[in-house]
Amino acid sequence: MALHLGDIAPNFTVDTTDGEISFHDWKAGKWTVFFSHPADFTPVCTTELGRAAALRPEFEKRNTSLIALSVDSIEDHRAWAPDIGEMSGTALNFPIIADQDKVVSHLYDMIHPGEGDTSTVRSVFIIDEDNKIRLSLTYPKSTGRNFDEILRVLDSLQLTSMHTLATPADWTPGDRVIVPPGMTTDDAKVRFSNVEELKPYLRYADAPDSE
């Protein structure tokens, strides 16, 4: 069954480089970026996991944990970790799931059957504190992910979860936000600062404090 935005992320119990975990218990009370990579000891994946490790403090500021997956073994994950640290300058600092039986990969539809093998594509799921899937992305194996964009969309998701608003194209934290269509301009002026109506359906406002 395909997973959709708003669905509860399926739970699972697996072995990781940090030991056995039950996913929902492991992430309890936190947002999570759960992402798959095709294989260990591969060039694009090495750059991706290194970048994610370097950005871990930024994710932690957002109460967000990181966890990766591939269909390789724990032994391979642990043998590969020093390369990640050497190439990125940051030691691997989050768990990697060993999904050799591909149970989790199929549960989250991470296998691309047209690729000619059974390794995972570059899937990304952002899952909130209530275990709901808030974002899903799938990249081909040849294209590395932009983790700055993953941080940006996480900021948008967390802001819009706290306040009734939307974020425009290319929004980054500190930019003005959009009043949602279901809210009147008068109501928006009560809730937000500096409301500007460009069209009856397009109103900007200053972003509220996210704290």
pLDDT of residue 209: 76
pLDDT of residue 73: 95
Active-site choice (14, 45, 84, 151): 45
Task: Report phi then psi at 23, rounded to 5.
Answer: -55, -55
Q: Where are the beta strands (DSSP E) in 110-171?
A: 122-127, 133-139
Sort 38 into a burial class: Cβ within 10 Å, 0-12 / 13-18 / 19+.
buried
pLDDT tens string 136-161: 999 888 899 999 999 999 999 999 99
pLDDT of residue 24: 98
Domain ranges of the chain: 13-145, 163-206
What superfamily would CATH give domain 13-145?
A: Glutaredoxin (3.40.30.10)
pLDDT tens string 45-65: 999 999 999 999 999 999 999
Sort 31 into a burial class: Cβ within 10 Å, 0-12 / 13-18 / 19+.
buried
pLDDT of residue 121: 74
Closest CA to 153 of 141, 163, 142, 166: 166
pLDDT of residue 211: 47
Residue pLDDT tens, the chain, 211 long:
689 999 999 999 999 999 999 999 999 999 999 999 989 999 999 999 999 999 999 999 999 999 999 999 999 999 999 999 999 999 999 999 999 999 999 999 888 665 555 566 789 999 999 999 999 999 888 899 999 999 999 999 999 999 999 999 999 999 999 999 999 999 999 999 999 999 999 999 999 875 4
pLDDT of residue 210: 52
pLDDT of residue 116: 54
pLDDT of residue 175: 97
- Told to judge if 182 belongs to the known catalytic residues of this protein, a careful annotator would answer no
- The first and second tokens of residue 135, run together, are 């974002």
pLDDT of residue 162: 94
Fold of 163-206: Antioxidant, Horf6; Chain A, domain 2 (3.30.1020)
Amino acid letter, 86: E
74-88 and 43-54 helices cross at what angle (nearest 10)?
Answer: 70
